[in-house]
Amino acid sequence: MRELEKITMNGVRYIVWDETQGVCPQKNGVALLLSARDGVGADALLVLPKNRPLAVRAYGKDGSAIDVNQSARRVASLAIENLALLAAGKKIAVEETVYRIEVRLTDCFCHRLFAADKTARIAG
C-alpha cells in the first residue's frame, strides 16, 4: 500500500508524491493517477525528490512536466513540513484555506500505475 497526500489550495488539487517512499511513475502512470475516472482525481502531481526535497517537479493531467508555480511551491513546503512533523510524532496544524486528504493506493493500483508505462513502450 502506498500513502499519498492530496492537498487543495486556491481551488487546485495537488497529489504529493514523496520519492523517499518509492519512485514516481512515468508519464502514462501519472496520467492514470490524476484521472478523475480511473485514478485519484487531481490537477497536478508534485514530486518531492529523494535526495533534494526542495527540487520539486510537477506534472499535469496528461503526465507531461509543467512549471512549478508559487502555489505549487507552497503546497510542496507544507508537505515537507508535514513529513517532518509526522516523523517527530507531532500533530499537523490545519490552515483554513488548505484542504488535506490522505490517499492510500492499493498494491494492485500501484502495479497498474507502473504497468501503464510499460504497455505504452511496448505498443509504441
Above 70 in pLDDT, residue 10? yes
7 touches 98 (CB < 8 A): yes
Banded pLDDT at 14 (limits 50, 70, 90): very high
Write the DSSP symbol of residue 55: S
Instruction: Write out pLDDT tens, residues 101-111.
Output: 889 999 999 89
- Domain holding 119, by residue range, is 2-123
- pLDDT at residue 41, rounded to an integer: 93
Write the DSSP symbol of residue 89: T
43 touches 62 (CB < 8 A): no
Task: Read off the pTM.
Answer: 0.83
For 97, half-sphere exposure in the C-beta direction (CA atoms, 13 angstrom radius) is 8
Above 70 in pLDDT, residue 61? yes
Above 80 in pLDDT, residue 123? no
5 touches 82 (CB < 8 A): yes
Q: Which helix H or strand E contains 110, and what residues bound it?
A: helix 107-123
- Cα separation, 72 vs 38, in Å, equals 24
Amino acid at 54: L
Above 80 in pLDDT, residue 93? no
Instruction: Give the CATH number of the domain where residue 8 resides.
Output: 3.10.310.10
Mean of pLDDT values over 62-81: 89
Q: How many domains, the chain?
A: 1
